[in-house]
A and B are shown apart, each in its own frame.
Chain A
Amino acid sequence: MRLTFRVNGRQQQADDVWEGESLLYVLRERLGLPGSKNACEQGECGSCTVRLDGLLVCSCLVAAGQAQGRDVVTVEGLASQAKKRADGRSGGADGRTGKAGTDLQPLSPIQQAFIDAGAVQCGFCTPGMLVAADELLERNASPTDADIREALSGNLCRCTGYQTILAAVRLAAARGTADTAGTADTAGTGG
């Protein structure tokens, strides 16, 4: 079957897709987006986490046909997604618009925070962690530790013991709050 859907803001099309393929397989093997990882294949580990129409899902359990006409964001789209959000907050007039003709963006704040906090060891869980953490910070700019633990509870990491991952999310939240301190959309948030 032919599959058409949006991925990271771009219309995509894949032909001769077998019905039994997962969204994860389509992303990795047909669209060349290997960021989302294939680990447990049963929806337990979260390494394949993407946004489907804005909601976090395990792409390993989404049959290809279910993605028809939908909007998908993968870890590869986090930077442009973060930029879009920042432009939205500032009305797009802050001079942070990307260069014409390229969609290369600097890392998103959550990606940078993972690097700065040393939250990555083997890196296999990282893309799923990033997508989940980014979704958390989008709806809750100042999460409590309990909020962070709950938001990442569908993502397993076998290396870090999670402490540096929690630290990275706290760091991104702190930077984000500082970034927009005093603006209406962060006032009063506290988990």
Chain B
Amino acid sequence: MKTFRYERPADPAAAVTLVAGTPGARYLAGGTNLVDLMKLGVETPELLVDVSRLPFGEVEETDTGGLRIGAAVRGSRLAAHLLVRERYPALSQALLSGASAQLRNAATIGGNLLQRTRCLYFQDVSKPCNKRRPGSGCPAREGAHRDLAVLGASEHCIATNTSDLAVALAALDATVHLTGPAGVRSLPLTDLYRLPGDEPERDTVLRHGELITSVELPPPPHSARSRAPLMVYRKVRDRASYAFALVSVAAVLDVRDAAVHEVRLAFGGLAARPWRAREAEQALQGRPATEEAFVEAVRTELSACRPLRENGYKLALAERLAVAVLADLAGQG
């Protein structure tokens, strides 16, 4: 591992100043991804600024009945939080499916959102990778890409985002609050992530020195008949215990008088960002909540897929998974 400096500033402003003033500086929270990547030589920061003890550790209700989640809240705590389990069960399901207890206990919400891709070539410094070393090439297109993107990829990069949490938050219309050298700003979570285009080294729109301080959720949607929020996160993976998603789906569905009153759908495992399926949502709005309608809408969304030699299975898998999840939710409503 390359030598680096380590600082633990007392307040957020000092942390921002430290990182903003050092080009090779990185924020450190739980460390479960960053420390691992440093051991592999993928990340080589000259300065680590530890933000895990800054005052971003609260989960609180907002005035509007939503939820504000501090960026330093640990995944295990959020998954077990009563308000999350009652009102946003898909969020709890996503966190619990994401990692072992040891990792959930250490990894923070902010860090989870900023985890890097698990593309094999990105993690292997002996191989070219446009995300790790811009311009060096992308062996994944011809090589091992079974797990990689079928939507929104570019000729330079086909990496996927592997956060389960981000997929659930995308479907829940989460907002991300940031602080940085130029002050504070907020973004819809879905706008935090970039598609690779010709700058695959940039996973997000964050500027150097910007720090996620919290994630905010609007009040959960409720069905007309039930107090329980009609939402679910379902993940398909190679083995039942901790593995990254081949495909995952987060869905919110409210059916009234046999028609779709409200629907939100997001996919994981398909792209460099959690894929909010807006076309499918629009196609379903006001339509009868039938399996045929679900199939048609999901196919519309997935028609943009451009699979490679070994990841074409993701289309069928994503379609069946989304239709099954929507049909289950429609049945419960």
Closest Cβ–Cβ distance, residue A166 to chain B (whole Å)? 14
**Which stretch in A26-34, A58-66, A94-102, A114-122 binds the other chain?**
A58-66
Indicate if the CB atoms of A20 and B32 lie closer than 8 Å.
Answer: no
Indicate if the CB atoms of A22 and B106 lie closer than 8 Å.
Answer: no
Which of B50, B76, B101 is in CB contact (< 8 Å) with A132? B101
In the complex, per-residue mask of A150-181: 1 if CB is within 8 Å of any chain B CB, else 0 = 11011100000000000000000000000000
Indicate if the CB atoms of B4 and A153 lie closer than 8 Å.
Answer: no
8 nearest A-B residue pairs (beta carbon): A154-B100, A55-B105, A19-B6, A20-B1, A154-B102, A65-B6, A57-B106, A58-B102
Q: Which residues of A contact B102 (CB under 8 A)?
A: 43, 46, 49, 56-58, 132, 154
For window 164-207 of chain B, which residues contact chain A by CB distance below 8 Å?
Answer: none
Q: Which residues of B contact A63 (CB under 8 A)?
A: 6, 28, 31, 35, 48, 50
Docked complex Cα distance between A68 and B36 (Å): 20
Residue B242 lies at the interface, judged by CB distance under 8 Å to chain A: yes
Closest Cβ–Cβ distance, residue B310 to chain A (whole Å)? 24
Indicate if the CB atoms of B36 and A55 lie closer than 8 Å.
Answer: no
Known: A20-B3, A43-B36, A132-B101. A153 touches B241 (CB 8 A): yes
Closest Cβ–Cβ distance, residue A128 to chain B (whole Å)? 9
Taking A1-B6, A56-B105 as known contacts, 13 extra A-B pairs with beta carbons closer than 8 A to each other, sorted by chain A number, are A19-B3, A19-B4, A43-B102, A52-B106, A55-B76, A61-B35, A62-B31, A65-B6, A65-B50, A66-B50, A66-B52, A154-B102, A155-B100
Which of A20, A62, A154 is in CB contact (< 8 Å) with B101? A154
Main SS of chain B's interface residues?
mixed
In the complex, per-residue mask of B32-53: 1 if CB is within 8 Å of any chain A CB, else 0 = 1001101100000000101010
Residue A41 lies at the interface, judged by CB distance under 8 Å to chain B: yes
For window 272-316 of chain B, which residues contact chain A by CB distance below 8 Å?
Answer: none
Residue A42 lies at the interface, judged by CB distance under 8 Å to chain B: yes
Closest B residue by C-beta to A20: B1
Docked complex Cα distance between A19 and B103 (Å): 21
Residue B85 lies at the interface, judged by CB distance under 8 Å to chain A: no
For window 1-44 of chain A, which residues contact chain B by CB distance below 8 Å?
Answer: 1, 18-20, 22, 41-44
Indicate if the CB atoms of B48 and A61 lie closer than 8 Å.
Answer: no
Residue B8 lies at the interface, judged by CB distance under 8 Å to chain A: yes
Q: Which residues of A contact B48 (CB under 8 A)?
A: 19, 63, 65
Closest Cβ–Cβ distance, residue A189 to chain B (whole Å)? 17
Give the number of chain B interface residues (Cβ < 8 Å): 29
Residue B5 lies at the interface, judged by CB distance under 8 Å to chain A: yes
Q: Which residues of A contact B30 (CB under 8 A)?
A: 61
The listed residue with most B CB atoms (<10 A of its CB), out of A19, A61, A63, is A61
Q: Which residues of B contact A46 (CB under 8 A)?
A: 100, 102
Interface pairs (15), CB distance under 8 Å = A1-B6, A18-B3, A19-B6, A19-B48, A43-B32, A46-B100, A55-B74, A61-B30, A63-B48, A65-B6, A65-B48, A132-B101, A150-B101, A153-B100, A154-B99
Indicate if the CB atoms of A42 and B36 lie closer than 8 Å.
Answer: yes
Indicate if the CB atoms of A58 and B6 lie closer than 8 Å.
Answer: no
For window 11-67 of chain B, which residues contact chain A by CB distance below 8 Å?
Answer: 28, 30-32, 35-36, 38-39, 48, 50, 52
Docked complex Cα distance between A65 and B102 (Å): 18
Docked complex Cα distance between A122 and B105 (Å): 28
For window 76-135 of chain A, which residues contact chain B by CB distance below 8 Å?
Answer: 132
Closest Cβ–Cβ distance, residue B4 to chain A (whole Å)? 6
Q: Which residues of B contact A43 (CB under 8 A)?
A: 32, 36, 100, 102-103
The listed residue with most A CB atoms (<10 A of its CB), out of B39, B48, B102, is B102
Indicate if the CB atoms of A61 and B106 lie closer than 8 Å.
Answer: yes
Indicate if the CB atoms of A57 and B105 lie closer than 8 Å.
Answer: yes
Q: Which residues of B contact A66 (CB under 8 A)?
A: 28, 31, 50, 52
The listed residue with most B CB atoms (<10 A of its CB), out of A20, A41, A151, A155, is A20
Closest A residue by C-beta to B38: A20
Indicate if the CB atoms of A65 and B8 lie closer than 8 Å.
Answer: yes
Indicate if the CB atoms of B6 and A151 lie closer than 8 Å.
Answer: no
Docked complex Cα distance between A55 and B39 (Å): 23
Q: Which residues of B contact A22 (CB under 8 A)?
A: 35
Closest Cβ–Cβ distance, residue A109 to chain B (whole Å)? 21
Docked complex Cα distance between A136 and B92 (Å): 20
Docked complex Cα distance between A18 and B3 (Å): 8
Q: Which residues of B contact A155 (CB under 8 A)?
A: 100
Closest Cβ–Cβ distance, residue A60 to chain B (whole Å)? 8
Q: Which residues of B contact A44 (CB under 8 A)?
A: 242
Docked complex Cα distance between A41 and B1 (Å): 13
Docked complex Cα distance between A20 and B36 (Å): 11
Closest A residue by C-beta to B29: A66
